[in-house]
Structure 1
Amino acid sequence: MAVIRVELAGRGYDVQVGADLLEQAGTLARDFIRKDCVAAVADRNSHRHHGARLQAALAEIGVSVEWFITDPGEGAKSWDVLAKLADWLLERGVERGDHIFALGGGVIGDLTGFAAAVLKRGCGFVQVPTTLLAQVDSSVGGKTAINTSAGKNLVGAFHQPALVIADTATLGTLPPREMGAGYAEVIKYGILGDAAFFDWCEANGAKVTGRDPAALEYAVTKSVEAKARIVAEDERETSGTRALLNLGHTFGHALEAETGFSDRLLHGEGVALGMVLAARYSARRGYLSAADAGRVARAIAAAGLPSEIASLQLRCTGADLAAHMAHDKKMDAGTLPFILLRDIGEAFLDRSVEMSDVADFLTQELQG
């Protein structure tokens, strides 16, 4: 088991990583439980697979669980579900000093974290991520949000968890496609800031997606360590350092929007293809060699992730995709900074990108 500390000016928290940690959840989270019953949020899938394990672990310390269960998928990150969750929590007398448990993937973490952020102006929550993507990315760092008709994650708050319990054994229930989507966020840390870790991913990616226990724990630990360093330096994305974590996301969110934020393109798959596009666009602007851009694409493709826009069979233009980017949260005074690459392991923020050039580039990509 590994313990990674996220340091945040006197209010840091631990991320516990290892197999079968759910059975230890009562002991690990004891300091954050004040009553003999806790509120927990899950979707139907995470509750079916892991709810009994969490409930049994808390029962060992004399604590029962009341469940708020949602439908799986992005539809749960909505105003309607948020309102229902907030009312449900208030009906159960949740107080500012209490902690809500979030059992599930990134959707559950985002929804629960945002509800905790606004309930009585802020109560605590414990992240228990059960997907690879959530364990290496969304459960750490305090970004919480819901989706609106205008786009994804446009209404939210920075609200850090009190504890993250990343039980790698929960990943055994994930479909292969979900494992691949999570792996995109693992290899992202190598591409943006750690060339040696990218080398490791090239050699061991199949072990990670194949759920080799040692490879999984190493990949999750290295990813969380990388994110913890960045979050500690730039918690609220004000200096530009944390923005580097958005590598692949600007392109990826545009593709997600064009595919209706549906199962046609999972978030991690969008990020994977977005990183390929970011690498190719970096080469177009003369920052990155074409050889290294190709290396990124091959590593993504080798993991079974999309590396060509053509695979999505979109009926749109490059301008259409660029238009989706106008809703990006990073848009400032009419300009959109892009996370690009000078080298594998060296991402940077480029504020000089012209959207017309992005549209032309995407048109070429769409045409193959």
Structure 2
Amino acid sequence: MTLPAPEPTRIPVGLGDRSYDILIGPGLVAGAGARIAALAPGAACAVVTDRTVARHHLPALLASLDAAGVRHAEVVVEPGEGSKSFATYADVCGAVLDGRFERGDLVVALGGGVVGDLAGFVAATLKRGLRFVQIPTTLLAQVDSSVGGKTGINAPQGKNLVGAFHQPALVLADTGCLDTLSQREFRAGYAEVAKYGLIDDAPFFDWLDENRDAVFAGGANGAEARRHAIALSCRSKAAVVARDEHERGDRALLNLGHTFGHALERLTAYDGARLVHGEAVAIGIALAFRFSAAQGICPGGDAARVASHFRAAGLPTRIGDVPGWTEGSGPGAEAVLDAMMQDKKVTRGRLNLILARGIGRSFLAPDVAAAAVRDFLDGEMAKG
């Protein structure tokens, strides 16, 4: 006899009349149709997904929509960061318009961070705004990119430079989807989980030190640890978003490691074979802690502990860990710094970084001296 799925964990995101719920648990894709029909009675859905996710999860979602009597059409894009482009954005917009979807209808993002960002931006801009539902299928998307309303695409000048804040109407984080991820993709998402402990929750990072293997185990053995890690991450992000929706204050802390990481992604031309986003974040966080230690801000032992934690999870922690990027054969410190200067947190040409006074004690450091970052990067690259 098949037991019914347990009730999902519910985490509210409090934004007044734009508030919404994050639901976390198994079986949510199979039940999505009923929840969507209840959210928007009579609405149709344009489902945006990628080819890989479609193979694993699209049939269950479409069957659920059919059972709930929800009209739908599907738009399938290529997997990978390359789909966060002007060209793919135009293609998806055209497909949704061809499907004759109205302003009262919904865009549904079924996939990881790339699909969520792309579909969300389509929803934000078509007909001056359609509602959308996030159904994140990767760990990274479940704990980070599906929550908070950041949507967008990449530009040749850098990552996520074209976009809009557009909150979802509902987030369905089906933990069962994580069992279809490769170990590499799961590890990449784990970097974003650990980030929440490193920002302002040292006890959570301590818990991860003790329970990392259970989080990675999945299945019956790791289900509760995995759900706890996802729920705590989402609760942390939801609280920050409610305080600072448009990143004018402490929401910037959620970008710990991202200024370094986005620069590395840009310089590898968003080539997922070499570097995926979560790996770039892991390197970026390790760099942020080592830079903080080099500036005398953070204990060196904390920086070493962060790097050790990521290495034990199978994540890279140094620029030289990126395939094909060793001393003398990859872009130099000046190129990395130049890419960092394209970051959205740069203000009037001044570099703002998220640094750390220790584990769980991150802060926004305004006007960081570019020369100090360049010297630090030179040293990092010399170490390989």
TM-score range relative to shorter protein: over 0.9
- Report deviation, 1:9: 2.4
Whether 1:327 and 2:345 are equivalent positions in the alignment is no
1:41 corresponding residue in structure 2: 48
**Separation of aligned partners in 2, 1:326 and 1:278:** 15
**Separation of aligned partners in 2, 1:2 and 1:349:** 32
The aligned amino acid for 1:175 is S
1:85 corresponding residue in structure 2: 92
1:231 corresponding residue in structure 2: 241
> Aligned with 2:18: secondary structure?
coil
1:180 corresponding residue in structure 2: 187
Whether 1:259 and 2:274 are equivalent positions in the alignment is no
Given that residues 282 and 288 in structure 1 are in contact (C-alpha distance below 8 angstroms), is that contact kept between their aligned partners in structure 2? yes
> Aligned with 1:10: secondary structure?
helix
Which of the residues 310, 331, 352 maps onto 2:367?
Answer: 352
- Report deviation, 1:299: 0.7
Within-5 A mapping of 1:233-312: 233-238=243-248, 240-263=249-272, 264-312=274-322
Find runs of 4+ consecutive structure 1 residues off by over 3 angstroms.
32-37
- After superposition, give the CA deviation of every residue in 1:88-144 in whole Å (9 maximum; x if it has no partner): 111222122211111000111011100000001111000000000000000000000
2:5 corresponding residue in structure 1: none
**Separation of aligned partners in 2, 1:333 and 1:272:** 28
In angstroms, what is the RMSD of aligned CA positions?
1.2
- Report deviation, 1:36: 6.6
- Report deviation, 1:37: 4.1
- Report deviation, 1:38: 2.1
Given that residues 39 and 100 in structure 1 are in contact (C-alpha distance below 8 angstroms), is that contact kept between their aligned partners in structure 2? yes
Given that residues 36 and 62 in structure 1 are in contact (C-alpha distance below 8 angstroms), is that contact kept between their aligned partners in structure 2? no
- After superposition, give the CA deviation of every residue in 1:8-39 in whole Å (9 maximum; x if it has no partner): 12210000000111121122222333437421
- After superposition, give the CA deviation of every residue in 1:243-262 in whole Å (9 maximum; x if it has no partner): 00000001111111222211
**Separation of aligned partners in 2, 1:269 and 1:237:** 23
1:215 corresponding residue in structure 2: 225
1:17 corresponding residue in structure 2: 24
Given that residues 282 and 315 in structure 2 are in contact (C-alpha distance below 8 angstroms), is that contact kept between their aligned partners in structure 1? yes
**Separation of aligned partners in 2, 1:307 and 1:209:** 19
**Separation of aligned partners in 2, 1:35 and 1:89:** 17
- After superposition, give the CA deviation of every residue in 1:248-295 in whole Å (9 maximum; x if it has no partner): 001111111222211201100000010001001111111110011111
Given that residues 198 and 359 in structure 2 are in contact (C-alpha distance below 8 angstroms), is that contact kept between their aligned partners in structure 1? yes
Given that residues 319 and 360 in structure 1 are in contact (C-alpha distance below 8 angstroms), is that contact kept between their aligned partners in structure 2? no
**Separation of aligned partners in 2, 1:31 and 1:155:** 32
Which of the residues 73, 82, 85 maps onto 1:66?
Answer: 73
TM-score by length of 1: 0.97
- Structure 2: gaps of 5 or more residues: 1-7
**Separation of aligned partners in 2, 1:205 and 1:259:** 29
**Separation of aligned partners in 2, 1:37 and 1:15:** 21
**Separation of aligned partners in 2, 1:89 and 1:108:** 15
> Aligned with 2:283: secondary structure?
helix
The aligned amino acid for 2:225 is A
- Structure 1: gaps of 5 or more residues: none
- After superposition, give the CA deviation of every residue in 1:15-71 in whole Å (9 maximum; x if it has no partner): 000011112112222233343742111101111100011111122212243110011
Given that residues 133 and 168 in structure 2 are in contact (C-alpha distance below 8 angstroms), is that contact kept between their aligned partners in structure 1? yes
Given that residues 32 and 98 in structure 1 are in contact (C-alpha distance below 8 angstroms), is that contact kept between their aligned partners in structure 2? no
**Separation of aligned partners in 2, 1:114 and 1:246:** 20
Whether 1:109 and 2:116 are equivalent positions in the alignment is yes
Which of the residues 88, 102, 112 maps onto 1:95?
Answer: 102
**Separation of aligned partners in 2, 1:338 and 1:25:** 39
Given that residues 44 and 105 in structure 2 are in contact (C-alpha distance below 8 angstroms), is that contact kept between their aligned partners in structure 1? no
TM-score by length of 2: 0.93
